[in-house]
Structure 1
Amino acid sequence: MTSVKKKLADNQPVIGTFGKFSCPTAVEILGYLGFDFVILDMEHSSLDYSQIEHLIQAADAAGISTVVRVPGIEESPILRVLDTGSQGIQAPGVDSPEAARKVVEAACYQPLGSRGLSYSTRAARYTLKDKGQHLLACEQEQLVVVQIESKEGMDNIEEIAQVAGIDVLFLGPADLSNSLGIPGQTNHPLVQAALKRLCDVAKRYGKTAGTFVANREQAARALAAGVRYLAYDNDVSFFVQGSRTVLAEVKSLLKEQEAI
């Protein structure tokens, strides 16, 4: 399996989605369909660490990269999900360069950070992986994503982008719209201007631009702006949309039969 970080280094756009279901089968299906990555969501779901481990195991089997959106920027959740074998972490609410450095400190080994080192983890194959290879793999394959989702974060975007160890600047359009006083208006010109600025800053400082989209129009606009780390909706929405379509089709058939 080629890591998302390697694909991005080769200038390939990557397509993922948020995963909120605790069922490993859902993650497997996303992998078999050909998604590049799934963001396992510990911020806006009830997923716990044990479930995260099972979902990562399913992802590894299906050849899809995993990124875990941790519930905050504290050291403990970042360390725990990386030790579980996630290929990356996505930290919400990064509003300042100090917060960005805190994320890097927790996620990266020396010299970039001060992540606690243990070899009896799933990430290190329970001591079976060569120690040097484990450290090298973390350096070369581990993705660190910070979410910029407030006016303060956008005001500090230049400084955040200069923090070593950050790979992706990810615009959170929903929370940004809330911060700007236009809650839910993710297509508003102010939000779109922020996305364009984030993409420009990311390019200037050698970072990847990312964002969340919920439809084809938003995806096209994001890609045209320079986004290469694209999170398209989530598994819950996919299930609802598919189920609604099937139900509508069957109800339509029933009405046609009743009319005969």
Structure 2
Amino acid sequence: MIRKNKLKQLIKDGGFAIGTFVKSNDPAVAEILGFSGLDFIVLDNEHVAMSRDSMINMIRSADSTGIVPIVRVRENRPVEILQALDSGALGVQVPNVDTKEEAAALIESVKYNPIGKRGFSPTTRAAAYGLMDKKEYVALSNQETLVVAHCETTTCMENLDEILTLDYLDVIFIGPMDLSQSLGVMGEANHPKVIESIEMIIKKVLGAGKAVGIVSSPAQANDYIAKGVQYLLISTDQGMIASAAQKIAADLKK
């Protein structure tokens, strides 16, 4: 059942939120991250094989601890977005949103009429399987769903001013790795071209009164927070396991 989106409220109040990408299909991972004190998780449907059944169970698990579940969908298609939100996700994170038209289509896919054109079924998990008042559900969904659009190409940067004129676009998320590829310096997230582009995107998004998101290392996070970034994704669940295991092994084998 859809609920109040603490992540969206935190951003609206001017705070910052800490999350991580989840690439595992085990619901225990979502529970552990929720108990650990993170604000949100992003289920990575773009880069891993996650069935709808496993996605729903991950969202259920997140709900049990109060952590906010967001889904990174495979692509900017209505059915992808519909299935994530109908499953109970409190928002979607969408890759390759490069034009104002693509951003508008994303918003239309997330929101119900009169804002958008999302397909309506009152018997989904998000609507408590038909046990929630229909009008209340639609109003709450339109209010609480978070819309996150990736800015990770030179095309998006060229169109960013137009994209930022749209209402209901909550977060512009910077993907440094894809951005490095688009800028011709693939994998070099610290290249001057990438850093300059990130600074430009942050400045424009904040100037438009919207929130900025980025994937960051723990070491960089405070610098981004100081620059006004509110939606921080630190590593991944797999990355956290790998780095902790590597450190333990290295420390004990000295």
TM-score range, shorter chain: over 0.9
- The alignment's C-alpha RMSD in Å is 1.3
Residues 158-181 of structure 1: per-residue CA shift (max 9 Å, x gap):
111112221100111000000000
Equivalent of residue 154 in structure 2, options 136, 151, 156 = 151
The answer on 1:11 being equivalent to 2:18 is no
Equivalent of residue 61 in structure 1, options 64, 67, 77 = 64
Q: Which runs of 5+ in 1 are unaligned?
A: 253-260
Change (3 A) 1:67 1:2: closer
Q: In structure 2, what is the equivalent of residue 245 of structure 1?
A: 247
TM-fit CA distance, 1:215 = 3.5
Q: How many residue pairs were aligned?
A: 251
TM-fit CA distance, 1:19 = 0.4
1:212 alignment partner, SS class: strand
Residues 59-118 of structure 1: per-residue CA shift (max 9 Å, x gap):
000110011000000111100010000000000011111111111111111122100111
d(CA) in 2 for partners of 1:118, 1:3 = 24
- Could you tell me which amino acid in structure 2 is paired with residue 14 of structure 1? A
Residues 187-206 of structure 1: per-residue CA shift (max 9 Å, x gap):
12222222222222222222
2:128 alignment partner, SS class: coil
Q: In structure 2, what is the equivalent of residue 187 of structure 1?
A: 190
Equivalent of residue 28 in structure 2, options 12, 25, 30 = 25
Equivalent of residue 166 in structure 2, options 163, 167, 184 = 163
Equivalent of residue 235 in structure 2, options 225, 229, 233 = 233
TM-fit CA distance, 1:2 = 5.0
d(CA) in 2 for partners of 1:237, 1:22 = 15
Q: In structure 1, what is the equivalent of residue 113 of structure 2?
A: 110
- Could you tell me which amino acid in structure 1 is paired with residue 233 of structure 2? A
Is the CA contact 1:92–1:147 (under 8 Å) kept in the aligned structure 2? yes
Is the CA contact 2:28–2:61 (under 8 Å) kept in the aligned structure 1? yes
Q: In structure 2, what is the equivalent of residue 92 of structure 1?
A: 95
- Could you tell me which amino acid in structure 1 is paired with residue 59 of structure 2? I
The TM-score normalised by the length of structure 1 is 0.93
- Structure index of larger Rg: 1
Q: Which runs of 5+ in 2 are unaligned?
A: none
TM-fit CA distance, 1:143 = 0.2
TM-fit CA distance, 1:224 = 2.3
Among all aligned residue pairs of Structure 1 and Structure 2, give the percentage whose two residues are the same amino acid.
37
- Could you tell me which amino acid in structure 2 is paired with residue 200 of structure 1? K
d(CA) in 2 for partners of 1:47, 1:227 = 29
- Which shows bigger deviation, 188-197 or 42-51? 188-197
d(CA) in 1 for partners of 2:234, 2:108 = 29
The answer on 1:132 being equivalent to 2:135 is yes
The TM-score normalised by the length of structure 2 is 0.95
State the 4+ residue runs in structure 1 displaced beyond 3 angstroms. Answer: none
